[in-house]
Amino acid sequence: MTSFVIEPQKPGDAAAIEAMLDASFGIGRRVKTSYRLREREEAAEGLSFVARDAAGVLVGAISFWHLRIGGDRVAALLLGPLAVHPGHQNQGIGLALMKHGLAAARVLGHGLVILVGDAPYYARVGFQPVPEGQMMMPGPVDLRRLLALELKPGTLAHAQGLILPPHRVI
């Protein structure tokens, strides 16, 4: 098992993160709807983290992004990308990054986090499928993989409609 530390992402980490994301997900990742929601956006302040091994090599990363949901524009965060370098997977790094990032989001007062992903994996930190028909995403997405985690009770019930980046108007 690899020992690692989690720390805030630094500007100099960007190239290593992009290379790791390409190795983990391939270059086709950039056309997915969740990536399109992040285009021309800045990650939520204080919510981008990396994991480094004992030698200081970047082995994982996570970021969160601001979103608005529906006509009443409920604020939410989009988790992702979450990636662990292929040579360091299945060692608890991804789970530790999620727990760390979600704890930081709670401290910062965020109420809801959504993502598109594998339900059994993300259920380990409390994510559940969004009720059918409650939210829509622009572009192609398997809505059965749309998951949510309330950081403040009751926020999910108010988040209904189209998911968009904060600068987009419905």
Query: Tell me: the pLDDT tens digits for 107-131?
Result: 999 999 999 999 999 999 999 999 9
Is 5 strand, coil or helix?
strand
Which two structure tokens, joined as six digits, stand for 66? 């601001």
- Architecture in CATH for domain 4-164: 3-Layer(aba) Sandwich (3.40)
pLDDT of residue 105: 98
167 CB-near residues (< 8 Å, 6+ apart)? 40, 41
Q: What is the DSSP string of 49-102?
A: EEEEETTS-EEEEEEEEEEEETTTTEEEEEEEEEEE-GGG-SSSHHHHHHHHHH
Closest CA relative to residue 138, chosen from 130, 146, 149: 146
pLDDT of residue 169: 57
Query: What stretches in the chain show pLDDT beneath 70?
Result: 1-2, 25-36, 72, 168-170
Domain boundaries, the chain: 4-164
pLDDT of residue 168: 64
Its pTM surpasses 0.75: yes
pLDDT of residue 42: 86
Residue 49 CB neighbour total at 10 angstroms: 22
